[in-house]
């Protein structure tokens, strides 16, 4: 029955090692820390990420969701 005792000891050691590893504070790799700035389309008001928005060259700070809304905002002929 010594083999059984030895086997049990291995399991205890294994659990102990696992417990020690679980205790270790896991380094949180927050690579997605950059906050996406949201802007709203000046034409329809829909919100979208700044990097996806069409930037108004003439009026800085104004953004559009698409080229269509950008041109439609420029043409105020209805
Ligand atoms: Zn729009």
What is the chain's pLDDT, residue by residue, as a tens digit (78 residues)?
Answer: 788 999 999 999 999 999 988 887 666 655 554 567 899 999 999 999 999 999 998 888 999 999 999 999 988 655
Residue 49, classed as helix, strand or coil, is strand
Q: What is the number of domains present in the chain?
A: 1
DSSP SS3 for 20: helix
- Tell me whether residue 6 is in a domain: no
**74 CA distance to ligand 1 middle (Å):** 12
Q: Is residue 17 part of a domain?
A: no
The closest alpha carbon to 37, from 46, 47, 29, 45, belongs to 47
**pTM for the complete prediction?**
0.52
Query: Does the residue 51 lie in any domain?
Result: yes
* CA geometry: angle 61, 66, 69, nearest 5 deg: 80
Q: 58 in a domain, yes or no?
A: yes
Residue 55 lies in a domain: yes
User: How many angstroms is it from 47 CA to the middle of ligand 1?
Assistant: 9
Q: What is the domain extent for residue 59? A: 38-74
- Give dist(CA 44, CA 78) in Å, integer: 14
């Amino acid at each position: 029955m010594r083999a059984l005792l030895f086997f049990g000891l291995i399991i205890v050691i294994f659990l102990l090692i696992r417990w020690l590893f679980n205790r270790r504070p896991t380094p949180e790799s927050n690579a997605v820390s950059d906050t996406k700035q949201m802007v709203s389309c000046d034409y329809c008001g829909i919100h979208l990420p700044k990097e996806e928005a069409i930037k108004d060259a003439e009026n800085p700070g104004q953004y559009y969701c698409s080229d269509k809304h950008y041109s439609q905002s420029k043409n105020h002929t209805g």
